[in-house]
Structure 1
Amino acid sequence: MTLGSLTLTASNPLRRSDRLRVEMSILSRNHVQLAGREGGPAMVFAHGFGCDQSMWRYLTPAFADRYRIVLFDYVGHGKSELAAYDRERYDSLGGYAQDLLDVLAALELESVVFVGHSVSSMIGALAAIQEPHRFESLVMIGPSPRYLDDDSAGYVGGFRAEDLNGLLDSMDSNYLGWSSTMAPVIMGNGDRPELGDELTNSFCRTDPAIARQFARVTFFSDNRADLPKVPVRSLVLQCTADVIAPEVVGRYVHAHLPESEYVLLSATGHCPHLSAPAETIAAMQGFC
């Protein structure tokens, strides 16, 4: 068992005081917040790129009477401990999956319902493959196993290499300008500019260097081979007119998961938990 950087074995157990110290360190590192039904089954929410746990505020009240709600921020986001950021650890989605597993271990949680937005869908999948007993099911909102097109395999991810390299170059040269331009496009719902403004502000609160590394790791990841290994049932929530994860990508995820349900929402854009919470909640309640 691993807690943070400490490995527990029969020959190297932690004293109770040391164990509590490690657990509290993890909970502080990821700014873990608990709400909802104490003693109930756990529902864990994981935010997407450039966001934090506040993005779940419209969804969590609908599940608080049944579930123990667990919210956290990935290191480098929200109110997490910025000093804990390690470029080597977070140079792959595996580092973020370990963040998630650390939090679950610190809270001694098993059989959780995991709700992940965007890249967190694949982070949750990786964590479930690594420690299946921690998960009962996965809810994937706007998932993509690979954002880059793969012509050799006939796979459409929605982006060409030149698009992604241009995106990263833009982040490098003018991160604030990139944020104000891209956030409304990602959010969609141009008739509701306040939603794009919220995402812009969230992006702008993220350290530009961390944001760029997470963007590179996210957009150049390839988790197609991991989908058949997911050991728990999954719900794929796909938005209409999603520029980040087009409909063809959501259907690909559904087709390659061993046990999944697919729901095409009427909500547009990439963030239905903000733009269409009632529809998102209804789809989740039909699954959970």
Structure 2
Amino acid sequence: MQILRLIDTGGTIGMVPSEQGLVPGAGVVEQHLRAALPQGTALDVVTFDPLIDSANIRPADWNRLADLIDEHDGPVLITHGTDTLGFSAAALSQVIAPERAVVLCAAMQPLGQNADAEESLAQALEYLLSGRAGVRVAVNGQILEAEGVTKTDSHARAAFVSVPQAPPAPRATGARFGTGPQIGVLTLTPGLSGQALAALLGCFDGVVLRIYGAGTFPEDPALVTAVAEAVARGLPVRVVSQCVQGGLAPGLYAAGASFWQSGVTNGGTETVELAFVRLLLAASAA
């Protein structure tokens, strides 16, 4: 008999109405899945207590999820809120062995609303019980590659995309995330001063820096110096585009040539979530 593990962390998918609005509903997802499972499949349930809004997800929760996945031999379905789904998907994609079958499932509307929850759970089950492998995300009736998942809409059902990642970096299978390193995400804005950027860079153990378009950067010596000095003192700075699709192509434009000589790391097509996770893993291993 195949045993499917459900890890219910919380999220909109299993919420129920209350006088104060939607609240987590204990057992809601489990009840739906038990009615949907085919013969010959059993359900093993692990429920976060209390169920949590994904806004409260921390790296320690990724470690707990990874441990729960690794201790179970069969496929694993994780229900999760949408707000930090991209971060959790990126995190698990980096530390779970690629031969495992893991699907994170989320919805913009709860079960029972005749919206996206039922379809997404059905897609997740179909994938997990088909014998296919890999870490995936089930949203809006789609199965997406977990590594590049990012949320692009705060309300629409079609709220997520998965940005293709060329060729995947080596996985840190079995690794876990440190809870001490502070990784920051900084966004380049017009008129940002070198002094302000230097101060911000000094607050973190690693920084994801979101710059313009295909990789342009202001021709401001103070800004370049702030980055170069931070890198020289050992701060990892991973650069990604502020655009969701397309990634970076250093050298395409003259604007930013000196910046790219400062020692930063080119994140290429990485999402903010994936760049953040990779920096945190590196800092955790240091």
- Normalising to structure 1: TM-score of the pair? 0.32
Task: Determine which structure has greater relative contact order: mean sequence separation of CA pairs < 8 Å that are 6+ residues apart, divided by chain length.
Answer: 1
Q: What TM-score results when the alignment is normalised by the length of structure 2?
A: 0.32
Structure 1 or 2: larger strand share? 2
